[in-house]
Amino acid sequence: MANLQRIGAGCGSDGLPWPEPNLPIGRRIQLADGDCALAGLRIVHEVMLAAERSRQHGGPEHDVGPRVMEGLMMACLELGTHAAERVRPR
């Protein structure tokens, strides 16, 4: 819980403040937020891969269905967009 609270307060996905101290605090928070989005993106991709492998190698009962896959793809799109917005300077 403490790690999640630190992430919510502007820390990176590892629960630590952004490691570049010479940046303004707002920029450090943006980069940490982008880092968290990229970590989430990786997790969603791993779940998608597991679902696809289950579909290919398992029986029909192992298929999560098209709506779940669409939801996972939409999550990937949003997390990627969020990360890109945070990394891009304004």
Domain borders along the chain are 30-90
Query: What local confidence, expressed as pLDDT, does residue 84 receive?
Result: 95
Q: In order along the chain (90 residues), what is the average pLDDT of each group of 10 residues? A: 80 89 91 94 96 92 94 97 90
Query: What local confidence, expressed as pLDDT, does residue 6 receive?
Result: 82
Nearest to 10 by CA among 27, 33, 44: 33
Tell me the two tokens of residue 68.
Answer: 């779940």
Query: What local confidence, expressed as pLDDT, does residue 41 receive?
Result: 97
Question: What's the rounded Cα separation, in Å, for the pair 87 and 90?
Answer: 9
pTM for the complete prediction?
A: 0.83
Question: What's the rounded Cα separation, in Å, for the pair 79 and 51?
Answer: 19
